[in-house]
Amino acid sequence: MVRLRMQRFGRTHRPFYRINAIDQRTRRNGRVLENLGHYDPMEKDQDKQVVLKVEEIKAWLAKGAQPSDTVRDMLGHADILEGDMKAKWISDRATNMKRGECKKARKEVEGIIASLEKMAGDSEADLTPFVNTAKKSLNMIQSAMSLAKDDVAAKYLADAKDAMSKAEAAKPAPAPEPEAASEETAE
């Protein structure tokens, strides 16, 4: 099978990629069937970063060539993909966006758990149930992340925030500092 993928060129910290049609079994910098464009991430001008030979790419796609994920993303942004391939790219992109939301929720819940554990260490009140609720929320968010369900992650993030607010309410107020002896009792 023919793949549309990138070949790395350039030097250390200055990458430059050629987009090529290559046999799937060929190594990364192996024999190229056809050069289809290039990608220069170091180029300041966004329009010059990706240069594609559209007609040649469409011809290879019509012959059944499969783009790598990165190249497929570039082709999708350039509006070259058609039919099922475009629909798959759109659905994969939506899934990745949902995964990103789940990752944000996970980071936030990890911060809440760290705050709760610190609060539990500083306080004499038993905050274990709140910490456990937040940890359960974290586990549920991690399972939702694999399924890319951002609505589930949002629900459990709300549960973790609720546990945090309840823990803050349950935490006893700090004991007042003993006042200095008044002058009358000192005499």
34 is a domain residue: yes
CA angle 39, 14, 41 (to 5 degrees): 30
Which residues of the chain, if any, have pLDDT below 50?
Answer: none
DSSP 79: T
How far from 70 is each of 6, 8, 17, 134, 165, CA to CA, in Å?
A: 8, 13, 12, 36, 43
Residues 61 and 104 in one domain: no
Residues 103 and 57 in one domain: no
28 is a domain residue: yes
The pLDDT of residue 67 is: 93
Ramachandran angles phi, psi of 39, nearest 5° = -135, 125
75 is a domain residue: no
The sheet carrying 50-52 orders its strands as 50-52, 34-39, 14-23, 2-11, 66-67
73 is a domain residue: no
The pLDDT of residue 21 is: 94
Structural domain range at position 127: 97-170
**Of 158, 126, 131, 153, which Cα lies nearest the Cα of 142?**
153
26 is a domain residue: yes
13 is a domain residue: yes
Residues 48 and 107 in one domain: no
Residues 165 and 116 in one domain: yes
Residues 163 and 107 in one domain: yes
- What domain count does the chain have? 2
63 is a domain residue: yes
Residues 125 and 166 in one domain: yes
List the CATH number of the domain containing 41: 3.30.1320.10
Residues 152 and 105 in one domain: yes
Residues 106 and 158 in one domain: yes
Residues 61 and 109 in one domain: no
d(CA 95, CA 111): 25
The pLDDT of residue 26 is: 86
64 is a domain residue: yes
The pLDDT of residue 14 is: 94
CB proximity list for 73: less than 8 A, separation 6 or greater = 89, 93
